[in-house]
Amino acid sequence: MSDNSHARIDIMDVPQLDRDAAGLIKGIQRHYLRTLGQHTSSRSNHYKYQALAYTIRDHLMENWKNTKDACSKQDGKRAYYLSLEFLMGRALGNAILNLGLDDETADALHQLGLNYEEKIEMERDAGLGNGGLGRLAACFVDSCATLNLPVTGYGIRYEYGMFRQLIQNGYQVEEPDHWLNYGNVWEITRPEYTQRVHFGGHSECYTDDKGMMRCRWADTQDVLAIPYDIPIPGFENNTVNTLRLWKAAATDEFDLGEFNAGSYPESVAAKNNAEHISMVLYPNDASESGKVLRLRQQYFLASASIKDVLRQWTETHGNDFSQFAEKNCFQLNDTHPTVSVAELMRLLVDQYRLSWEEAWDITTKTMAYTNHTLLPEALERWPVHLFGRLLPRLLDIIYGINAQFLTKVAEKWPGDVDRQRRMSIIEEGDVKQVRMAYLAIVGCFSVNGVAQLHSDLLVEGLFKDFYEMWPEKFNNKTNGVTQRRWMAWCNKPMTRLINDTIGSGWITDLQQLRQLAPYADDDAFRQKWDACKRENKVRLAKLVQDTCNVEFNPDAMFDIQVKRIHEYKRQLLNVLHVIHLYDRIKRGDTANWTPRCILIGGKAAPGYYMAKQIIKLINNVADVVNHDPDVGDKLKVVFFPNYRVSAMEVICPAADLSEQISTAGKEASGTGNMKFMMNGALTIGTLDGANIEIREEVGDDNFFLFGLTAAEVDSIRGHYDPNGIIAADEDLRRVMNLLECGHFSQFEPGLFAGICGAIRNGNDPWLVAADFRSYVDAQQRAASAYMDRTSWLKKSIYNTAFSGKFSTDRTMEDYNREIWKLTPITPLSAA
Ligand X SMILES: *Cc1c(COP(=O)(O)O)cnc(C)c1O
Tell me: does residue 59 bind ligand X (CB under 6 A).
no
Binder among 670, 707, 722, 827 for ligand X (CB under 6 A):
670
CA dihedral 583, 586, 588, 590 (to 10 degrees): 60
Binder among 63, 66, 483, 671 for ligand X (CB under 6 A):
671
> Which range in 208-216, 446-454, 462-470, 670-678 contacts ligand X by CB under 6 A?
670-678
Q: List the Cα angle 568/570/572 in 5-degree steps.
A: 135
CB of 503 to ligand X, least distance (A): 27
Q: List binders of ligand X among 133-172 (CB under 6 A).
A: 135
> Which range in 10-18, 107-115, 668-676, 796-804 contacts ligand X by CB under 6 A?
668-676
Is the CB of 341 or the CB of 560 nearer to ligand X? 560
Q: Which of 675, 794, 805, 810 is catalytic?
A: 675
Measured in degrees and rounded to the nearest 5, phi and psi for residue 116 equal -60, -55
Q: Could you confirm whether 528 is annotated as catalytic?
A: no
CB of 748 to ligand X, least distance (A): 30
Question: Quick one: DSSP state of residue 323?
Answer: T
DSSP-derived pairing of the beta strands 151-156 and 78-82: parallel
Is the CB of 62 or the CB of 656 nearer to ligand X? 656
Q: Compute how many residues bind ligand X; rule: CB under 6 A.
A: 12
Is the CB of 328 or the CB of 536 nearer to ligand X? 536
End-to-end CA distance of the chain: give it in Å, rounded: 30
Q: Where are the beta strands (DSSP E) in 423-574?
A: 426-427, 433-435, 446-449, 474-476, 557-562
The burial of 639, by beta-carbon neighbours within 10 Å (0-12 exposed, 13-18 middle, 19 or more buried), is given as: buried
* 568-604: burial string, b at 16+ Cβ within 10 Å, e else: bbbbbbbbbbbbbbbbbbeeeeeeeebebbbbbbbbb
Q: Where are the beta strands (DSSP E) in 16-145?
A: 78-82, 86-89, 126-128
CB of 373 to ligand X, least distance (A): 11
Cβ neighbours of residue 45 under 8 Å, at least 6 residues apart? 118, 122
CB of 561 to ligand X, least distance (A): 8
Is the CB of 401 or the CB of 450 nearer to ligand X? 450
Q: Which of 164, 563, 584, 634 is catalytic?
A: 563
Is the CB of 392 or the CB of 670 nearer to ligand X? 670
CB of 563 to ligand X, least distance (A): 3
Q: Which of 366, 671, 686, 811 is catalytic?
A: 671
Is the CB of 402 or the CB of 807 nearer to ligand X? 807
Is the CB of 122 or the CB of 645 nearer to ligand X? 645
Is the CB of 484 or the CB of 675 nearer to ligand X? 675
Q: List binders of ligand X among 544-603 (CB under 6 A).
A: 563-564
Cβ neighbours of residue 470 under 8 Å, at least 6 residues apart? 441
CB of 648 to ligand X, least distance (A): 4
Q: Could you confirm whether 67 is annotated as catalytic?
A: no
> Which range in 207-215, 322-330, 412-420, 671-679 contacts ligand X by CB under 6 A?
671-679
CB of 670 to ligand X, least distance (A): 4
Q: Could you confirm whether 564 is annotated as catalytic?
A: yes
> Which range in 130-138, 176-184, 196-204, 322-330 contacts ligand X by CB under 6 A?
130-138
Binder among 672, 680, 722, 827 for ligand X (CB under 6 A):
672
* 187-196: burial string, b at 16+ Cβ within 10 Å, e else: beeeeebbbe
Binder among 634, 644, 794, 805 for ligand X (CB under 6 A):
644
Q: Which of 48, 119, 564, 616 is catalytic?
A: 564
Tell me: does residue 132 bind ligand X (CB under 6 A).
yes
Tell me: does residue 473 bind ligand X (CB under 6 A).
no
Q: Could you confirm whether 363 is annotated as catalytic?
A: no
Q: How many CB atoms lie within 10 A of CB 607?
A: 11
| β-strand partners of 205 | 215
Tell me: does residue 795 bind ligand X (CB under 6 A).
no
C-alpha closest to that of 608 among 616, 620, 600: 616
Q: How many whole angstroms separate alpha carbon 283 and alpha carbon 291?
A: 12
Provide the 3-class DSSP secondary structure of residue 197: strand
> Which range in 268-276, 387-395, 457-465, 666-674 contacts ligand X by CB under 6 A?
666-674
Cβ neighbours of residue 361 under 8 Å, at least 6 residues apart? 325
* Contact criterion met (CB below 8 Å) for 653 and 554: no
CB of 286 to ligand X, least distance (A): 9
* Contact criterion met (CB below 8 Å) for 123 and 90: yes
Q: Which of 57, 124, 164, 372 is catalytic?
A: 372
Tell me: does residue 131 bind ligand X (CB under 6 A).
yes
Binder among 25, 302, 597, 648 for ligand X (CB under 6 A):
648
Residue at shortest CB range from ligand X:
672
CB of 662 to ligand X, least distance (A): 9
Q: Which of 569, 636, 666, 810 is catalytic?
A: 569
Q: Could you confirm whether 569 is annotated as catalytic?
A: yes
Q: List binders of ligand X among 197-236 (CB under 6 A).
A: none
CB of 134 to ligand X, least distance (A): 8
Q: Calculate the CA 779 to chain-centre distance.
A: 29
> Which range in 63-71, 128-136, 266-274, 822-830 contacts ligand X by CB under 6 A?
128-136
Q: List the Cα angle 123/127/131 in 5-degree steps.
A: 135
Q: How many whole angstroms separate alpha carbon 133 and alpha carbon 337?
A: 13
The burial of 149, by beta-carbon neighbours within 10 Å (0-12 exposed, 13-18 middle, 19 or more buried), is given as: buried
Q: Could you confirm whether 381 is annotated as catalytic?
A: no
Q: Where are the beta strands (DSSP E) in 380-450?
A: 381-383, 426-427, 433-435, 446-449
> Which range in 148-156, 211-219, 428-436, 665-673 contacts ligand X by CB under 6 A?
665-673
| Kind plus residue range of the DSSP H or E element containing 814 | helix 808-815
Q: How many whole angstroms separate alpha carbon 698 and alpha carbon 157?
A: 39
Provide the 3-class DSSP secondary structure of residue 328: strand
Give the catalytic positions in this structure: 372, 563-564, 569, 671, 675
Residue ranges binding ligand X (CB under 6 A): 131-132, 135, 563-564, 644-645, 648, 670-672, 675
